[in-house]
């Protein structure tokens, strides 16, 4: 018979159950890794969001308050509305972005489908030539493009900028759509052909509905790039009443007396649409970028 002194001592309890022991080493490392990742993400978020906080805080000051370092005022926003035609410039940027993206989608979507599903003898060579156009920097072709567009008489309004933006964005859209459509089963295309849809019907009725993430990805990336661009709008839109908002801000910054609060207010107006579009389509953006790679 075992004596009471030799019996193992049961774990102490506070009334709600036994006291938990130390965590396993693997679980401890996992918790430490998660907390470290959380801290790093918070630091990155602070670094990324700090410029926007500076823009907002500076735009809510007058020039005197900005120089003195304190105060609150809507004077900069009122002066900005009187200095720049914000409504017209935002409308011009919207028109240029919308039409350019529409052209990019109309060309890139069927081209990407053709390169991924309709094989012909020189398809790989032609595809590589189109994709290689993404490697050419804008600055290298800007002046030749300006000469060509000027000869066509398209530098007065939106047409010249739309042609340039569409030509610059189409290679990327062809590459992304071709990569995305490789994940579409060939049996689905063949079934549509057997049912008598034809390639145009398959593209319109079967492929486009399942390509929404890729379409959203191209739309978001091209919108951000076109909306924030300055060089093309500055060179190819020479009509003052049709200039985009980035050109208007550049003109405001180049003035003899530049008000920093007004410039921050205009920069905030220019940055908000791209941020809203990105946040609104973020889930489609991630799916569209990774869909063709996962399979």
The SS3 assignment for 122 reads coil
Question: What's the confidence (pLDDT) of residue 94?
Answer: 92
Write the pLDDT tens digit of every residue in 227-259. Answer: 988 888 888 888 888 889 888 888 877 765 678
Mean pLDDT of the chain: 82
- The Cα 81–Cα 92 span in angstroms is 16
Q: Is the pTM higher than 0.85?
A: no
Question: What's the confidence (pLDDT) of residue 20?
Answer: 57
Question: What's the confidence (pLDDT) of residue 95?
Answer: 93
Q: Is the pLDDT score of 40 beyond 90?
A: yes
Q: Is the pLDDT score of 276 beyond 80?
A: yes
Write the pLDDT tens digit of every residue in 105-163. Answer: 999 999 998 888 887 788 888 888 888 888 888 888 888 888 888 888 888 788 889 99
Q: Is the pLDDT score of 15 beyond 70?
A: no
User: pLDDT higher for 97 or 121?
Assistant: 97
Write the pLDDT tens digit of every residue in 50-96. Answer: 988 888 888 888 888 888 877 788 888 888 888 888 888 899 999 99
- The Cα 240–Cα 89 span in angstroms is 10
Confidence of residue 22 (pLDDT cuts 50, 70, 90): low
Q: Is the pLDDT score of 294 beyond 50?
A: no
The 3 state secondary structure assigned to the chain is CCCHHHCCCCCCECCCCECCCCCCHHHHHHHHHHHHHHHHHHHHHHHHHHHHHHHHHHHCCCHHHHHHCCCCCCHHHHHHHHHCCHHHHHHHHHHHHHHHHHHHHHHHHHHHHHHHHCCCCCHHHHHHHHHHHHHCCHHHHHHHHHHHHHHCCCCCCHHHHHHHHHHHHHHHHHHHHHHHHCCCCHHHHHHHHHCCCHHHHHHHHHHHHHCHHHHHHHHHHHHHHHHHCCHHHHHHCCCHHHCCHHHHHHHHHCCCCCCHHHHHHHHHHHHHHHHHHHHHCHHHHHHHHHHHHHC
Taking residues 203-228, report their average pLDDT: 88
Rg from Cα positions in the chain: 28
| Count of Cβ atoms closer than 10 Å to residue 227 Cβ | 21
Contact 130, 174 (CB under 8 A): yes
Question: What's the confidence (pLDDT) of residue 17?
Answer: 53
Q: Which two tokens stand for residue 154?
A: 């398209």
Query: Domains along the chain?
Result: 94-294 (1.10.3720.10)
Contact 219, 150 (CB under 8 A): no
Q: Is the pLDDT score of 10 beyond 80?
A: no
- Nearest CA-CA partner of 253 in 78, 83, 46, 4: 83
Q: Is the pLDDT score of 102 beyond 60?
A: yes
- The Cα 222–Cα 192 span in angstroms is 31
Confidence of residue 290 (pLDDT cuts 50, 70, 90): low
Question: What's the confidence (pLDDT) of residue 202?
Answer: 83
- Nearest CA-CA partner of 222 in 155, 174, 150, 158: 174
* Side-chain-facing half-sphere of 271: CA atoms under 13 Å: 12
Taking residues 156-177, report their average pLDDT: 90
Question: What's the confidence (pLDDT) of residue 295?
Answer: 45
């Amino acid at each position: 018979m075992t004596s009471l002194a030799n019996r193992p001592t049961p774990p102490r309890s506070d009334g709600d159950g036994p006291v938990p022991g130390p965590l396993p080493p693997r679980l401890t490392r996992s918790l430490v890794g998660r907390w470290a990742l959380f801290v790093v993400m918070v630091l990155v978020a602070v670094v990324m969001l700090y410029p926007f906080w500076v823009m907002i805080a500076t735009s809510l000051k007058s020039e005197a308050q900005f120089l003195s370092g304190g105060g609150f005022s809507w004077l900069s926003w009122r002066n900005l509305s009187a200095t720049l035609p914000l409504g017209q410039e935002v409308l011009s940027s919207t028109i240029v972005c919308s039409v350019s993206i529409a052209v990019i989608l109309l060309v890139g979507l069927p081209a990407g489908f053709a390169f991924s599903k309709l094989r012909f003898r020189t398809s790989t060579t032609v595809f590589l030539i189109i994709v290689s156009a993404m490697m050419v920097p804008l600055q290298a072709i800007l002046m030749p493009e300006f000469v060509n567009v000027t000869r066509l008489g398209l530098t007065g309004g939106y047409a010249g900028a739309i042609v340039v933006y569409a030509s610059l964005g189409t290679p990327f859209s062809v590459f992304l759509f071709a990569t995305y459509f490789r994940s579409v089963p060939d049996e689905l295309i063949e079934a549509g052909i057997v049912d008598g849809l034809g390639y145009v019907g398959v593209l319109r009725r079967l492929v486009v509905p399942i390509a929404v993430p890729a379409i959203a990805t191209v739309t978001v990336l091209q919108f951000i790039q076109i909306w924030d661009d300055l060089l093309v709008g500055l060179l190819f839109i020479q009509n003052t009443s049709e200039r985009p908002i980035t050109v208007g801000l550049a003109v405001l910054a180049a003035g003899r007396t530049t008000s920093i609060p007004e410039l921050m207010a205009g920069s905030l107006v220019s940055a908000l649409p791209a941020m809203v579009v990105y946040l609104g389509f973020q889930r489609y953006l991630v799916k569209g970028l990774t869909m063709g790679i996962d399979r």
